[in-house]
Amino acid sequence: MLILHSYHKGHSWNDKISQGIESVLNQRGQNTELFFEFMDTKRNYDDHYLENLTQLLTHKYRDKTIDVVISSDDHAFNFLIDHSATLFPGIPIALCGVNNFNKSSIPPDKQYTDVIESPDLKKTIELAMQLHPKTKKYSGCWESLTISPSKKRWKRPWKKNYHPDPTP
């Protein structure tokens, strides 16, 4: 099993995903050989870097048996969409942490499954209002990342289309 992380070792998101995968496999007593790759795209992300990464992974895994690739976050997912036919032909890919996922972005001949990162802001606000019915004001805070500009889009539709009266 190969886990392809978008970011670097030590990034809390990647580390938690790795820990979760290892803990589930350990609980089940499975003796699965794990390979971890860190794309480091918070610090390196251009066409030349990605081409070098493709060559490195092609060379590194040419003689390895990989039964499944787990992709964490958007850059790993997009990288696999572009390069899985070369790197891991016929190998199923599991996605996690992909923002604003659109199944049409997956080529029809690929074997993918997913755990999607897509918060339901309307339901979150409604629940918050139920739990705290005396609330008079509320506001939202979004992480500003160059890595995931799609998160910025969450704010606009919520602000534009959802204005519940905070008073019961």
pLDDT digits (tens, 9 = 90+) for 33-45: 999 999 999 999 8
- 19 contacts 52 by C-beta, under 8 angstroms: no
Q: What is each CA distance from 58 to 62, 85, 100, in whole angstroms? A: 6, 11, 29
Residues in the chain, total: 168
Dump pLDDT digits (tens) for 56-104.
999 999 999 999 999 998 899 889 988 888 898 888 888 887 776 666 6
Q: DSSP assignment of the chain, as one string?
A: -EEEESS-TT-HHHHHHHHHHHHHHHHTT-----EEEE--TTT--SHHHHHHHHHHHHHHTTT---S-EEEESHHHHHHHHHHHHHHSTT--EEEEEEET--GGGS-TT--EEEEEE---HHHHHHHHHHHSTT-----------SS-THHHHHHHHHHHH----S--
Identify the CA nearest to 127 among candidates 116, 138, 142, 114: 138
Mean pLDDT of 150-159: 46
Q: Is the pLDDT of residue 109 over 70?
A: no
Q: Is the per-residue pLDDT at 148 higher than 70? A: no
Structure tokens at 93: 């890919």
pLDDT band at residue 120, thresholds of 50, 70 and 90?
Answer: low
Tokens for 58, please give them: 């092609």
In this predicted structure, what is the pLDDT of residue 116?
56
What pLDDT does 152 receive?
46
**Cβ pair 42, 74 in contact under 8 A:** no
For the entire predicted model, the pTM comes to 0.65
Beta bridge partners of 72: 5, 96
Type of residue found at 82: D
Under the banding of pLDDT at 50, 70 and 90, the label for residue 119 is low
